[in-house]
Amino acid sequence: MGFMPRRNRVTPYGELIAVADRGMFWGNRGPLIDDDGQLARYSRGKVWMICVLSYKGIRRVQWSPRRLTELYFLDEATALAAGHRPCGECRYRDYQEFKRCWGSVFGGVPRVQDIDGRLHSDRLVGGLRRDKFGSASVRRTFAASASSLPAGAMVSLDGETWLVHGDELLRWTPGGYRERRPVSSVPGDVTVITPRATVSVLAAGYRPVLHPTVLNWPGPPAAALNAMASGAEPAGDVQAERRSGNHRP
């Protein structure tokens, strides 16, 4: 029997899919699997983080019941669209920049509880359930013109997901970006997938790490591949280097 990938890859909509493609970041949204090792819920709690693949050489056994369930993202723009934010421990500098941009939009010095609470209300429609995973899992989106959106935001158009990248839109796939079209070719409004607060943070100057296929579709240059998150190779379903407990938010 051939290799069967786990359902641990995250789309910009926050859906969990099973694909062989690997990602640049991992993250979590709480313990999601039951004692039998099966997915039992969409999320638990409001702390949804984005972490680097390798941190201080610490290893972690994946897919363990009653522990944080490891999820993987193509890149940071994908994770932000899904409703996650940078981890305050393994991505300390990025988290501080995210907070700085947040404060420039919403004022003051933001507390992590305030950021997580706002993101939670922006990413999910409370009280609605879409599938067997229990807690609220219907995505909240909004409409805006593509030309008004900052780089790094993600939108839905013609049944596909697209990344705003300068004056272009790049079509998202689990393995990278595969098509380009000019923003000017899109009349009217699009459906914005990235949470509204995160779009404001991007507009304030936060720059997410993007998959190297944004540079040279269909094949990224070797130098771009070497620049992937923290120099770590993408993780598959085998053990990956991770902290065995929770990251601090």
The single-letter DSSP state of residue 149 is S
Tell me which residue has tokens 């697209």. Answer: 162
- pLDDT reported for residue 66: 81
Answer whether 171's CB lies under 8 Å from 214's CB.
no
| Both tokens assigned to 83 | 């409703």
Alpha helices, H only, 138-213? 196-203
Tell me which residue has tokens 């420039």. Answer: 104
Distance CA(82)–CA(137), nearest Å, equals 11
- pLDDT reported for residue 234: 36
What pTM did the predictor assign?
0.83
CA 130 to chain CA centroid, nearest Å: 20
- pLDDT reported for residue 4: 79
- pLDDT reported for residue 2: 62
- pLDDT reported for residue 191: 97
Answer whether 10's CB lies under 8 Å from 78's CB.
yes
Distance CA(73)–CA(95), nearest Å, equals 17
pLDDT tens track of the chain, all 249 residues? 566 788 899 999 999 999 988 899 999 998 888 888 888 888 888 999 999 998 888 777 777 888 888 999 999 999 999 999 999 999 999 999 999 999 999 999 999 999 999 999 999 886 454 445 544 457 899 999 999 999 999 999 999 999 999 999 999 999 999 999 999 999 889 999 999 999 999 999 999 999 999 986 544 433 343 344 444 433 333 223 223 334 444
Q: Indicate the Cα dihedral angle 13, 16, 18, 22, nearest 10°.
A: 70
- pLDDT reported for residue 124: 85
Q: What are phi and psi of 28, to 5 degrees?
A: -155, 165
Sheet of 176-182: strand order equals 142-145, 189-192, 154-157, 160-165, 168-173, 176-182
- pLDDT reported for residue 242: 29
- pLDDT reported for residue 215: 87
- pLDDT reported for residue 128: 52
Residue 111, SS3 per DSSP: coil
- pLDDT reported for residue 197: 98
